[in-house]
Amino acid sequence: DAMVIQNPRYQVTQFGKPVTLSCSQTLNHNVMYWYQQKSSQAPKLLFHYYDKDFNNEADTPDNFQSRRPNTSFCFLDIRSPGLGDAAMYLCATSSEAGRNQPQHFGDGTRLSIL
């Protein structure tokens, strides 16, 4: 089945130690998104790509960066994680830049900060 795969499912890192989360997709979708979701809250969009066109949300901290080397892969880099960055990180894709297109989500990476 075509899908969105996030690795690892659980990631533990130390305060201030850089960490990278990965996402791959077999759906061949143009658009990829990264969300942060804290406990019992709605997902919060960090950034998204339309093909290689990168779009940063205005309130996404500078500590968060992303790379999309090709259609299939997208990475989330957290340069110096703080305790407040502990959350579930969700990757999603959509087939084109249309408002009626649903998003397809991976199962997320739960990030813990020691």
Partner 1 sequence: AQSVTQLGSHVSVSEGALVLLRCNYSSSVPPYLFWYVQYPNQGLQLLLKYTTGATLVKGINGFEAEFKKSETSFHLTKPSAHMSDAAEYFCAVSGPGGYQKVTFGTGTKLQVIP
Toward partner 1, which CB reaches closer, 14 or 41?
A: 41
Contact flag: residue 24 with partner 1 (CB under 8 A): no
Q: Indicate the burial class of 39 (C-beta count within 10 angstroms; 0-12, 13-18, 19 or more).
A: exposed
* Of the candidate residues 19, 21, 24, 31, the single one contacting partner 1 (CB under 8 A): 31
Please select the residue that binds partner 1; options are 24, 25, 66, 103, rule is CB under 8 A: 103
Rounded Cα distance between 19 and 99, Å, is 32
Query: What minimum distance in Å lies between the beta carbon of 85 and partner 1?
Result: 18
Beta bridge partners of 6: 23
Beta strands 87-94 and 109-113: pairing type? antiparallel
Residues 48 and 57: their CA atoms lie apart, in Å, by: 8
Is 104:92 a contact under the CB 8 Å cutoff?
A: yes
Residue 104 as a binder of partner 1 (CB under 8 A): the answer is yes
Report, in Å, the least distance between residue 66 CB and partner 1.
15
Q: Which residues of the chain form contacts with partner 1 (CB under 8 A)?
A: 4, 6, 9, 31, 40-43, 45, 48, 50, 55, 90, 92, 94, 96-108, 110
